[in-house]
Structure 1
Amino acid sequence: MSKPVVAIVGRPNVGKSTLFNALAGENISIIKDTPGVTRDRIYADVTWLDHAFTLIDTGGIEPDSSDIILSQMREQAQIAIDTADVIIFLVDVRQGLQDADSKVADMLRRSHKPVILVVNKVDSFQKFMADVYEFYNLGIGDPVPVSASSRLGIGDMLDEVVKHFPEKAEAQDEDDRPKVAIVGKPNVGKSSIVNKLSGNNRVIVSDIAGTTRDAIDTDIRWNGKEYIFIDTAGLRRKNKIKEELERYSIIRTVTAVERADVVVVVIDAKEGVTEQDAKIAGIAHERGKGIIIAVNKWDAIEKNDKTIYEFTRKVRETLSFMPYAEILFISAVSGQRLPKLFETIDMVIENQTLRVQTGVLNEIVTEAVAMQQPPSDKGKRLKIFYVTQVAVKPPTFVIFVNDKELMHFSYVRYLENKIRESFGFKGTSLKFIIRERKESD
């Protein structure tokens, strides 16, 4: 089940990033292995009471002149409208109600998405309340006063936000067709793949980078089985500066990945694997999705008997944080190996939902421990009491040990490799949670 997405929209300097940081706080996990994940802090996983959601900051694009500000804000608002389940519209009590605020409010109102109007920089409720009421004029509901920098009123604001999340039961009975997100840089042929699979040109494609419209869901039947393909489209404007394009496409990627069971990362064979590919793949890896790397335009490459090995080696090197990902060489134009894509998707989904019995799991771990002694420190050795699988999508294991500090990352990886040797788990990441227990327990 995918988490709700909440986006923050607002004029420059109203405090979007301050609010983002206040909410994301300690929740931003720094994953050493995943490139670029923490550098672009556009999104974070946030938990409030028993609700988990993905928070998106559309800020960071701070234009200088006022007419650009408006068009940029519209662009940001549009992205929030397209991708978010709930929108936080941030305004500034000290600057008061501005023309740009009203124009964006109109767009948000027409979107029929839930909008929470949040008035920032209210450091004292007594002093500023009269100014807060001015924002009723926007006509999008009751303003919620907060101070992002001193974290006042944040709880009340989050209570309003989570009211709009779908009920848990409601969210559970979504359809169970496999959801596949097609992600990658602009122009690697994402839409062409979806078109070829669905046998019609419903996604508008041309050779200009960023010409696809929004993320479009396409239902595709293959061998009597239905799949939903989520195409993370590019952007409307073609003349945007490159960094913004990347930033926006990352936002779209995050929301598509959030909804998917399996993520197909498309790489351009002619360009080779790049840092941006690693960034995009990192989002899927971080979220524990099933992953297939599809090298597209393979028909356009001059080949000899070593080409495939060379290319595979480069992909494995650049994406070294996900050695489990499956690699396919395809062509959207000729349809080469596209049937193999469905077989691989089915296999990855099977592995994502595979459950291993505790008894069998512990036999493997006991054997692994016998083959390679666990680490020790100052005479104290790590003891592994037992291991159990607690979840699927991704398969998640809890390892009970005598001392968490002794459980080195490298030893977890060693155990992971042993578990993979026995059960495969091809195409999916595995998650390990280390818990401490006393000897006497």
Structure 2
Amino acid sequence: MKLVIVGRPNVGKSTLFNRIVGKRISIVHNMPGVTRDAVESVGEWRGRKFKMVDTGGLVESEEYITKEIKKRVQKLLEEADAILFVVDGKEGITSADQSVAKLLYPYKEKVFLVVNKMDTKVAQSNLYDFFTLGFEKVYPVSAQHGKGIVELLDDVFSHVAESKEVIPQEGIRLSFVGRPNVGKSSLVNAILRSDRVIVSPIAGTTRDAVEIFFEYEGESLILVDTAGIRRPSKVEYGIEFFSVGRSIKAIEMSDVVCLVVDLSEGVTHQDQKIGSLVERRYKGCVIVGNKFDLTNLKEKEAEAYIRQRLYFLDYAPVVLTVATERKGIERLLESALLVYRDYCKQHKTSFINRAVEKIISEKAPPSYQGKEVKIYYAYQETTKPPTVVLYTNYPEGWKSNYKRFFERKLREYLDIKYSPIKLVLRSREEER
């Protein structure tokens, strides 16, 4: 079952979406036009699961992004089992509401008119005016305070066949992150072979983190398109602040991160900063050098340049792409699966300890305060990322250079080529 929320900008669609699914997924802000791409999530009501879709605000305009929003909403209206048409009770009927109503008339039977912000006397006095829009099912609610939501959802579900239930989709979470306008949305569209997310040369077009289910080579993937991450000094509090927050959260929830860089501009200091966000969270990573066609570099030269600038992500495969021509897309997906397999590798304790012995025989830890640093034993605690615990007499005595060497060698001996390894140092006193 699919519920689609529509309406003009700033009537509270995203607030209603977040209220119904029970999570703060869509960005809510008092500036109109915050939501642009369709944002989806799975909700549950009285034991029935359903898909909820929040859409961009509909307005009459010749602007590119506005026309793209309308095109995507029209497709969603055809797919919807129920349409929640949201209007602002406090403001009353506007010409923009009437325009949206005309768009919805062909789907009249599945439209539920939701009169939001019904927590003032002014809004209550406006309520009956909304019946003139021509829809029979009218529901006064306050999305912010949760009033009227129970009645609305009970009626929605009574009108939709019991058999139409959504099973939450699970899969490898593959997030596309990077600076604004490097081609993240274009790459997602190239993978899907459709214009699923809005692409424009305007930096900051994507605001919410948009999730799309996709299957490749028998594997289920959840593609996550994110807002561009700019330098903190350039980000004002408001829409972009929350967009960047969603992008960082998307990194944290990812299995594999595609770090997208624009090769026509080169790997910038901000690209390095974003890469360090991925590295510090021990996430699997594919470095995507997009817009390769706009450079004069050969493939080996471009890869060597990227590796030199993002040296700390030495385990991440590098893929060169031209998203607009779908070049490099297959290799990108294949690389993401390679990374994920390494990210999930588990080894027996005996194998881990043999690898540790080999590394120590090759190069022992430097002494600490004139005393020998010993390793008693090791084991793999978990995966995603592969996490190896070492019991040692001086955890604080491990120098960062040696630790990096040890992690690199451990990846080599454990045949984990494309994933970070998290090394946890513990003293014997912490042993249980």
Same fold (TM over 0.5): yes
Aligned twin of 1:367: 358
1:359 maps to amino acid: S
Aligned twin of 2:323: 332
| Contact 2:208–2:243, Cα closer than 8 Å, also in 1 | no
Change in 2 beyond 3 A, CA 1:371/1:263: same
Aligned twin of 2:251: 257
Aligned twin of 1:396: 387
Change in 2 beyond 3 A, CA 1:186/1:381: same
Change in 2 beyond 3 A, CA 1:293/1:439: closer
1:110-135 Cα distance to aligned partner (Å, 9 max, x none): 79xxxxxxxxxxxxxxxxxxxxxxxx
- Counterparts of 2:168 and 2:418 in 1: how far apart (Å)? 24
Change in 2 beyond 3 A, CA 1:217/1:190: same
Q: Alpha-carbon deviation of 1:246? A: 6.8
Partner residue of 1:185 out of 179, 185, 189: 179
| Contact 1:250–1:280, Cα closer than 8 Å, also in 2 | no
Q: Alpha-carbon deviation of 1:344? A: 0.9
> Given the alignment of the two structures, is residue 349 of structure 1 paired with residue 340 of structure 2, yes or no?
yes
| Contact 2:177–2:247, Cα closer than 8 Å, also in 1 | yes
TM-score in terms of structure 1 length: 0.57
1:80-127 Cα distance to aligned partner (Å, 9 max, x none): xx99xxxxxxxxxxxxxxxxxxxxxx9xxx79xxxxxxxxxxxxxxxx
Secondary structure at 1:180 match in 2: strand
Gaps of 5+ in 2: 1-23, 41-89, 91-115, 118-143, 147-166
Secondary structure at 2:264 match in 1: coil
Aligned twin of 1:197: 191
Aligned pairs (5 A) from 1:77-116 = none
Aligned twin of 1:29: none
Q: Alpha-carbon deviation of 1:419? A: 1.2
Secondary structure at 2:324 match in 1: coil
| Contact 1:326–1:426, Cα closer than 8 Å, also in 2 | no
Q: Alpha-carbon deviation of 1:281? A: 1.9
- Counterparts of 1:383 and 1:216 in 2: how far apart (Å)? 48
Secondary structure at 1:377 match in 2: coil
Aligned pairs (5 A) from 1:84-163 = 140=145
Aligned twin of 1:323: 314
User: More deviation in 368-377 or 286-295?
Assistant: 368-377
Change in 2 beyond 3 A, CA 1:234/1:291: closer
Change in 2 beyond 3 A, CA 1:73/1:213: closer
- Counterparts of 2:372 and 2:254 in 1: how far apart (Å)? 41
Aligned twin of 1:74: 30
> Given the alignment of the two structures, is residue 277 of structure 1 paired with residue 271 of structure 2, yes or no?
yes
Q: Alpha-carbon deviation of 1:248? A: 4.8
1:74 maps to amino acid: N
Secondary structure at 1:192 match in 2: helix
Aligned pairs (5 A) from 1:192-341 = 192-233=186-227, 242-244=234-236, 247-303=241-297, 307-341=298-332
Secondary structure at 2:423 match in 1: strand
Q: Alpha-carbon deviation of 1:370? A: 1.5
Change in 2 beyond 3 A, CA 1:204/1:350: same
| Contact 2:176–2:259, Cα closer than 8 Å, also in 1 | yes
User: More deviation in 340-349 or 370-379?
Assistant: 370-379
- The structure with more radius of gyration: 2
Q: Alpha-carbon deviation of 1:201? A: 0.7
1:271 maps to amino acid: E
1:28-82 Cα distance to aligned partner (Å, 9 max, x none): xxxxxxxxxxxxxxxxxxxxxxxxxxx9xx9xxxxxxxxxxxxx96359x79xx9
Aligned length: 284
Change in 2 beyond 3 A, CA 1:203/1:438: closer
Aligned twin of 1:435: 426
| Contact 2:190–2:323, Cα closer than 8 Å, also in 1 | yes
- Counterparts of 2:359 and 2:261 in 1: how far apart (Å)? 36
Q: Alpha-carbon deviation of 1:226? A: 2.6
Gaps of 5+ in 1: 1-54, 59-71, 84-105, 112-138, 142-172, 236-240
- Counterparts of 2:394 and 2:375 in 1: how far apart (Å)? 9
Superposed CA RMSD: 3.7
| Contact 2:207–2:243, Cα closer than 8 Å, also in 1 | no
Secondary structure at 2:403 match in 1: helix
| Contact 1:388–1:397, Cα closer than 8 Å, also in 2 | yes
Aligned twin of 2:159: none
Change in 2 beyond 3 A, CA 1:295/1:374: same
Q: Alpha-carbon deviation of 1:198? A: 0.7
Secondary structure at 1:399 match in 2: strand
Q: Alpha-carbon deviation of 1:243? A: 3.3
- Counterparts of 2:368 and 2:395 in 1: how far apart (Å)? 12
- Counterparts of 2:345 and 2:430 in 1: how far apart (Å)? 31
